[in-house]
Structure 1
Amino acid sequence: MPLPPLDLIIENADVVTLDPERPQANRIGVLHGRIVGLDEDLDGWPATEVFDAAGATVLPGLIDAHTHLQLTGQGLKAVRIDDCHSAQSALDQIAEAATSAGPDDWIEVYGYDQLRIGRHLDAVELHKAGGGRRVWVKHWSAHASVVSTAVLERAGHGPANGLLHELEQELVGAQRLPYSQTELADAIEQAARQAAAQGITTCVDAGAGGVVGSLSPADGAAFQVLVDAGRLPVRVRLMPSMDVLHQVSVHQEDGFGRGLPLGLRTGFGGEMLGLSAQKVVLDGGMSVGTARMTRPMTGLDSPGVWRDDPDQMREAIADGHVAGWQMAVHAIGDAALDLALDAIAEGQRRSPRPDARHRIEHGGAIRPDQLPRLAALGLTVVSQASFLYDYGDHYTELLGPDRADWLYRGRSLLDAGVRVVGSTDRPLPGTPLRAIQSWAERTTNSGVVLSDDVLSVRQALEAFTVHAAWLLRAEHELGRVRRGYRADLTVLGGNPLTTPIPEIAALEIRNTVLGGRIVAF
């Protein structure tokens, strides 16, 4: 009986399977979105489509475990000042954009970095540059913004200089947000195509519905619009923010009090869109001095900020654990990490869950004594190694020589028994390949070597594939090139395992394959 034709055969490929049972292959067969065989399994099997990889390297599809598609899409449509190296050049670029704007239009600006341009912008000069319009300049970290006088006047309050940190940014959000479903869906699609062009096949959108990370409290519907229309080029898992949960009336024996309508939580959804962890943001960002440290960073009087009341956040984490959520806790400073560890330990005390797979987002500054606690609680650190390249010089200056080794750790986490997963935190400039290179060399963009806390290239690659899939409870179908797994693949112009480390970030992304379909960038 003749074999039914496969949907796709990829041939003439250097396949890095990341499957220890079969590390390498040259051909991949796909049927109904799944891998059905490799190499000799495909002998005599016809296919509707044959893709000649021409010697390219094929990897399991890269997973970006912490990203912000909404904010990335917003930034792609905004006035960009990434290439400005002075305050005046940034203001000139804003003024140029204002010449084609209507009198009631917003001027949204992305790529703001006070260090690069030499100082903070202020409300009065933004008012002048924007011709009296409402101007919203977002810091690259999303932990701060500067707004024009017109924004402050309509709000009736706010700092005179227009500089807003953390939740103070609600002042501008209350005027500009929410985005419409159409506007938001277009922004998400544009950002998702950028992700696909970087070799990514699955994204976790961190902070859905949240005050800072979201553009609409109904943002999940915009993702659904894209799924229904076949416009979503990557798989997405939404990470609802703590903000969107509310008090629910459950039986007292259940032991928790907060949730989403219908009791939806981690794991709900389908192959293209579903719910991931619940996100709780404990502190701010290192670059704007709001990460919560046990002692202030260099040159600062304050040890940073708490995003909310520490006791309430501690209870929210423990409550989410008891309710069955996977928890994703944003903790950049070491004091924030202390709170996260205490809260998760309390949740486990109330309701033991040995395979909860809770996550620490960022882990920007981790003390040596915190390593064994992370391991004992079974926590995973979702890190952004590319920050070391882009911002390592500034971060080491902020922490000082006695704390610089705490930054975005690598091998020391693995040695302690802590799983590490990679991400980009887009709209920041890093890519998965940049992060892989950064983990392997820990060098800043100025050439400074930070420490020897490196990962091997294979370990860094597994952080974006094998371990990221495990964190999403998808280790049975993502993260490896193996029979029965989803045909999500990344096609590169070279093999990162054999490419010289300083050249990894520049490897060409030739194709991204999602469920056996080649994605158009």
Structure 2
Amino acid sequence: MSNRSILDEIGADVVLFNGKVVTVDEDDSIFEAVAIKDGRILKAGSNEEVQSLASSRARQIDLKGRTVLPGFIDSHEHCIRRGLQADYVDCRSPPVMTINDIVEALKAKAGEKKEGEWVVGSWFDETKLGDRRWPNRYDLDKASSKHPIYLGRAGGHNAVANSLALSIAGISKDTPQPSGGRIEKDEQGEPTGRLDEIAAMNMVRGKIPSPGPEESTEIMVEKWPEVEEMLLSWGITTMHEAHIKAPASLAYQELLKKGGLRMRVGLMLDGMTPYGGYATDDLARQGIRTGFGWGDKLYVVGVKIGVDGAMGSLTAALTEPYSNDPENYGIVRVTQEDLTEETVRCHKAHLRTCIHAIGDRAIDIALNSVEEAVKSMEWKDHRHRIEHAGYVRPDQLDRMKRLGVAVSASIGFCHPIGDSHYDALGTDRLRGYYPMRSFKEHGIVAGGNSDGFGRNWALTGIYGCATRRSSGGRYLAKEEAISVMDSIRAYTINAAFLEGTEDEKGSIEPGKMADFVVLDRDILTVDPEEILQTKVLMTMVGGEVVYEAD
């Protein structure tokens, strides 16, 4: 057999050349080209070295000097359920800039519906409204008094309902406060319409007619291509999907079965505390552990449990009160006992816990639970995760390192909503705000996520890591900034570590999955302010081009 015939048998089937290939390996190696065989990386090197490995049938992609990075991994999102929200009124800012804008948008939707049908809005953020206040029941009554209205806040931890919706839910001045939630009441004891956290929100949300499990699965499958195309256009090749119950899990399995899943998805299945899911018991009884999956495109990352709320809406649990609300310490949604019991059960079943904890008081509770779990049984490489970690004290950094905790840091919040967090914490606590440099210095592996806020999630998060600058131009502890290369690591190799696949993805090295993103500029050398303007030109998953810009 000739050398050419042998090369055609074993050579690369895709070659990217004439570019800047940023490998994100331990040495921060940079090459000109990379060869792919059967969806895996064969070699990164010079143009000559790599092209000599190409088979005669290889697809040759001239990068024309563009930059190639490992595909982005976003370690905490909520994506597939967007398919169930097609009828929602999008109230995010911009373009919605006043409460009146919200009212008019809800009124228009009510005009499309029969009397008595629900109107649902989402993604309002009072910190970005000109009114600088929360809408209340009386504002929403102006949109309609003949339609129950439920308006969710950005982040999913708060909502506002109109008077009819409150009446349907049986919420009045005599309604007691639910455990782990809050019904806001005015000085006369009347509900204002504001509902904080799941326990209160579900009192109204549970009254909204919704499709059954089978129909929900069908809708999510049908709507997924649009959601996935958005993610791929942002260079996201792997996403960790939080809050997964049966319909969403079945939707992903159906997509995989039909060849409709082009990216990779790691599932965080809902635990009981406080989400009312059954993953802990069900997976443990079946002997299913972290890493179980349906191939390399769909697998279990861990069990999602949680402690507190969100910082922007002042429900994250702090040990000291909010700077802009001195009587408020946030909300703890669980008891220490319940969280510890579930964390220990997961640990003993070799199920990684992914614990929502934003404020430092919540992080204390989460770390207490992990400490008890670690004592209960040896599992050397558990990688239990703190999800978000919005305000971390120095003593907690030491404890995280000692316990072997990893962090899925919502540094993607910094630019789009950092101004509200600046106001919430005040200047004295900013050093603990998503402290990416401190994580690195303490040897804590921190991946990055945006949890749905902003656009172009990974690049916006990289910008936040490197600049610490909010959309309002304020800096949230510049001393916690990290280099652009380390910022890239947060959305590549570090995020792969969080799911235990750093030997399979997250860097451009031989044998790893050929998941790449091609950018229109070199974010390592441009002014960091340009990172926000950077566009994804091409996204590859397993050596297959799954997105190309027009």
TM-score after normalising by structure 2: 0.86
Pair 1:473-2:473 in alignment: no
Pair 1:17-2:44 in alignment: no
Q: 2:186 corresponds to which residue?
A: none
Higher alpha-carbon deviation: 420-429 or 458-467: 420-429
CA–CA separation in structure 1 for the residues paired with 2:223 and 2:312: 26
CA–CA separation in structure 2 for the residues paired with 1:22 and 1:343: 36
Higher alpha-carbon deviation: 491-500 or 36-45: 36-45
Q: Note if contact 1:67-1:427 (Cα within 8 Å) is conserved in structure 2.
A: no
Q: 1:87 corresponds to which residue?
A: 99
CA–CA separation in structure 2 for the residues paired with 1:466 and 1:135: 43
Pair 1:419-2:445 in alignment: yes
Q: Note if contact 1:75-1:109 (Cα within 8 Å) is conserved in structure 2.
A: no
Pair 1:353-2:379 in alignment: yes
Higher alpha-carbon deviation: 164-173 or 329-338: 164-173
CA–CA separation in structure 1 for the residues paired with 2:16 and 2:512: 15
Q: Note if contact 1:98-1:131 (Cα within 8 Å) is conserved in structure 2.
A: no
Shift in CA distance, 430/265, structure 1 to aligned 2, threshold 3 Å: same
Q: Note if contact 1:433-1:504 (Cα within 8 Å) is conserved in structure 2.
A: yes
CA–CA separation in structure 2 for the residues paired with 1:102 and 1:50: 57
Amino acid at match of 1:193: E
Shift in CA distance, 258/80, structure 1 to aligned 2, threshold 3 Å: closer
CA–CA separation in structure 2 for the residues paired with 1:229 and 1:171: 37
Task: From 205, 210, 231, give the equivalent of 1:173.
Answer: 205
Q: 1:374 corresponds to which residue?
A: 400
Q: In structure 1, the residue corresponding to 2:192 is in which secondary structure? A: coil
Q: 1:97 corresponds to which residue?
A: 109
CA–CA separation in structure 2 for the residues paired with 1:380 and 1:493: 32
Shift of 1:71: 4.6
Amino acid at match of 1:65: S
Shift of 1:110: 2.3
Shift of 1:19: 2.2
Unaligned runs of 5+ in 1: 210-216, 249-256
CA–CA separation in structure 1 for the residues paired with 2:211 and 2:449: 27
Unaligned runs of 5+ in 2: 173-182, 184-190
Amino acid at match of 2:165: V
Alignment of 1:174-323 (within 5 A): 174=206, 175-178=208-211, 180-209=216-245, 217-243=246-272, 246=278, 259=283, 262-269=286-293, 270-298=295-323, 299-323=325-349
Amino acid at match of 1:465: T
CA–CA separation in structure 1 for the residues paired with 2:386 and 2:279: 24
C-alpha deviations, 1:418-449, integer Å up to 9, x for none?
Answer: 11111111155461111111111112222222
**Residue-pair matches, total:** 506
Q: Note if contact 2:21-2:68 (Cα within 8 Å) is conserved in structure 1.
A: yes
CA–CA separation in structure 2 for the residues paired with 1:245 and 1:353: 24
Amino acid at match of 2:427: P
Higher alpha-carbon deviation: 454-463 or 88-97: 88-97
Task: From 436, 445, 449, give the equivalent of 2:475.
Answer: 449
Task: From 161, 179, 195, give the equivalent of 2:192.
Answer: 161
Pair 1:459-2:490 in alignment: no
C-alpha deviations, 1:204-240, integer Å up to 9, x for none?
Answer: 001212xxxxxxx422001112112222231001101
TM-score after normalising by structure 1: 0.91
Shift in CA distance, 322/497, structure 1 to aligned 2, threshold 3 Å: same
Pair 1:8-2:14 in alignment: yes
Alignment of 1:491-502 (within 5 A): 491-502=518-529
C-alpha deviations, 1:380-427, integer Å up to 9, x for none?
Answer: 121122322222222222222322221111111211221111111115
Shift in CA distance, 473/464, structure 1 to aligned 2, threshold 3 Å: same
Alignment of 1:50-65 (within 5 A): 50-65=60-75
Shift of 1:318: 2.1
Shift of 1:329: 1.0
Q: Note if contact 1:245-1:260 (Cα within 8 Å) is conserved in structure 2.
A: no
Amino acid at match of 1:203: M
Shift in CA distance, 111/237, structure 1 to aligned 2, threshold 3 Å: same
Higher alpha-carbon deviation: 139-148 or 118-127: 118-127
Amino acid at match of 1:268: F
Shift of 1:261: 5.3
Shift of 1:182: 1.7
Shift of 1:169: 1.8
Amino acid at match of 1:400: G
Q: 2:176 corresponds to which residue?
A: none
Shift of 1:362: 0.8
Higher alpha-carbon deviation: 505-514 or 42-51: 42-51
Q: 2:80 corresponds to which residue?
A: 70
The root-mean-square deviation of aligned C-alpha atoms, in Å, is 2.3
CA–CA separation in structure 2 for the residues paired with 1:440 and 1:303: 30
Q: 2:125 corresponds to which residue?
A: 113
Q: 2:355 corresponds to which residue?
A: 329
C-alpha deviations, 1:86-116, integer Å up to 9, x for none?
Answer: 1111111222233333446543322201222
CA–CA separation in structure 1 for the residues paired with 2:12 and 2:364: 52
Amino acid at match of 1:387: F
Amino acid at match of 1:491: V
CA–CA separation in structure 1 for the residues paired with 2:195 and 2:410: 25
Q: 2:153 corresponds to which residue?
A: 139
Q: Note if contact 1:293-1:333 (Cα within 8 Å) is conserved in structure 2.
A: yes
Shift in CA distance, 364/154, structure 1 to aligned 2, threshold 3 Å: same
Higher alpha-carbon deviation: 501-510 or 91-100: 91-100
Shift in CA distance, 288/153, structure 1 to aligned 2, threshold 3 Å: same
Shift of 1:285: 0.8
Q: 2:177 corresponds to which residue?
A: none
Shift of 1:130: 4.2
CA–CA separation in structure 2 for the residues paired with 1:371 and 1:277: 22
Q: In structure 2, the residue corresponding to 1:313 is in which secondary structure? A: helix
Amino acid at match of 2:30: Q
Pair 1:32-2:61 in alignment: no
